[in-house]
Chains A and B, each alone.
Chain A
Amino acid sequence: MVSIKLYAFVLAPLLIAFLIPILAPAFAQEAGEFVNRKIEIWGLFYKFMTAAFIVGAVVTGVIVFIISHFNEKNVKKREVAR
């Protein structure tokens, strides 16, 4: 039986892959004769910032969730804390 961990590991990148085309129009440049360096480079910078903020949000979210969920004062999870 496939574990939930594997599902999570596979589904998370799929979720990202699903979101990319939705975000793509924001990064697109208008068609021209030559590559516009300015748009390409600033577009890449924008993508880096998007990735950095998503990673930041995920990491922060996971930390906050773990702290609150597995807190010793959380009565429901007291057994886990022990």
Chain B
Amino acid sequence: MGHATLEWVYIGVVVGLLVWIGADAWVVEKNIDEVPKEAETIKVIAQQWFWTFEHEDGTKEVGELHLKAGKAYRFDITSKDVNHAFNVPYFVAMIDAVPGRVNKVWFSPDQPGEYLIQCREYCGLLHNQMRAKLIVEA
């Protein structure tokens, strides 16, 4: 067995893996982007240095968000001043909050409990304090 055969094996393994990973990443991204029809929309407004949440029925919450476990929620995220980023680390959800633009992200909290919502884009002096509490009820 010479160099060339080895190189072909090497190329074959790498190409096979890249195709597999590429196809799978595409499928995962498609699955994640697709918002379920029954998802409830929650408007999220970011501003220095707090979060405001508005439910479909018009109820507003500041610094706290109450959701129900097992339901799907779509978050329409925007900002009133500078760039922020809406991040719920436990549910692996993160997207920028940009003034004049509405970005969306969705997830379905599966377990009741209290989780952190944190700004992940440096937005000024109190950026590190720009947190909210996500309360998932059973």
Interface size on A, residues (CB 8 A): 36
Residues of B within 8 A of A32 (CB): 110
* B17, CB-defined interface residue at 8 Å: yes
When A16-B16, A16-B20, A37-B91 are in contact, do A44 and B28 touch as well, CB less than 8 Å?
yes
On chain B, the number of residues with a Cβ less than 8 Å from chain A's Cβ atoms is 36
CB contacts (< 8 Å) of B8 on chain A: these are: 5-6, 8-9, 12
Interface SS of B by simple majority? helix
Contact with B along A61-73 (1 / 0, CB 8 A): 0100110001000
Q: Give residues in A with beta carbon < 8 Å to B.
A: 4-6, 8-13, 15-17, 20, 32-38, 40-44, 47-48, 51, 54-55, 58-59, 62, 65-66, 70
